[in-house]
C-alpha cells in the first residue's frame, strides 16, 4: 500500500497545478477549482492501480475533472444568483479596450459542455478524437460544440482578441 501511496503522491505533486488551472477555466473560481481537483484526485486514488497498469492516468484525470465540473454546475445551488462587488456599468463601448470582456468572463457565458470542449481542445491541446473519448461524445459533436463555442467567444471578445491569444 505504501508504494501505491508514494506513486499517487508523486503524481499529485506533478499534476495538481495543471489540473487546477484547467479546472479554473472550466468553472471560473479558484476556490471551486480546488474543490474540483480534490474530488478528481479522490476518484483517481480509488482507480489508481488500474490506471497505472493501463498508463492512462492523465487522460482519465482530465475526463474525471470535466465530468465533475459539469456535474457540479448542474447542482441547484450553483444556479442561484451570485452577488458581485460592484454594479456593472450600463454602457459598454466595444471599441474601448479597457472595457473589453476578458477571456475568462467570456468562457463563463458558454454552456458547460461547450466550455469543456473549448478548454480541452484549445487549452489542453487535445485532438478532436481525444476530446470525444474524454467526454464520451462523437467527433461530430465535439466539432460542432467547438465551432459554436468559438463563435460565441468571437462575438463576445471580437475576432482580433482571440487571434492575439494564439
pTM: 0.58
What is the CB-side half-sphere exposure of residue 38 using CA atoms within 13 A? 7
Q: Is the pLDDT of residue 105 over 50?
A: yes
Q: Return the biggest CA–CA distance within the chain.
A: 60
Complete domains list, the chain, with CATH:
2-78 (1.10.1740), 98-165 (1.10.10.10)
The predicted model gives 71-99 an average pLDDT of 59
Give burial (CB, 10 Å; 0-12/13-18/19+) of 73: middle
Query: What pLDDT does residue 54 have?
Result: 77
Q: What is the three-class DSSP state of 116?
A: helix
Cβ contacts of 22 within 8 Å, gap of 6 or more: 62, 65, 119, 123, 124
Query: What pLDDT does residue 144 have?
Result: 94
pLDDT interval class at 37 (50, 70, 90): very high
The predicted model gives 158-166 an average pLDDT of 52
Q: For 110-125, what is each residue's pLDDT tens digit?
A: 998 899 999 999 888 8
Amino acid at each position: 500500500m505504501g508504494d501505491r501511496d508514494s506513486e499517487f503522491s508523486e503524481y499529485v505533486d506533478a499534476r495538481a497545478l495543471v489540473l487546477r488551472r484547467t479546472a479554473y477555466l472550466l468553472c471560473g473560481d479558484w476556490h471551486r477549482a480546488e474543490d474540483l481537483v480534490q474530488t478528481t484526485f479522490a476518484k483517481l486514488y480509488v482507480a489508481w492501480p488500474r490506471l497505472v497498469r493501463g498508463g492512462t492516468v492523465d487522460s482519465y484525470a482530465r475526463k474525471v475533472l470535466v465530468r465533475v465540473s459539469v456535474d457540479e454546475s448542474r447542482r441547484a445551488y450553483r444556479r442561484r444568483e451570485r452577488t458581485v462587488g460592484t454594479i456593472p456599468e450600463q454602457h459598454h463601448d466595444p471599441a474601448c479596450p479597457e472595457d473589453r470582456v476578458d477571456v475568462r468572463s467570456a468562457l463563463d457565458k458558454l454552456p458547460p459542455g461547450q466550455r469543456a470542449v473549448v478548454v480541452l481542445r484549445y487549452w489542453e491541446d487535445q485532438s478532436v478524437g481525444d476530446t470525444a473519448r474524454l467526454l464520451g461524445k462523437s467527433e461530430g459533436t465535439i466539432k460542432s460544440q467547438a465551432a459554436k463555442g468559438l463563435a460565441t467567444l468571437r462575438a463576445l471578445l471580437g475576432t482580433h482578441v482571440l487571434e492575439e491569444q494564439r
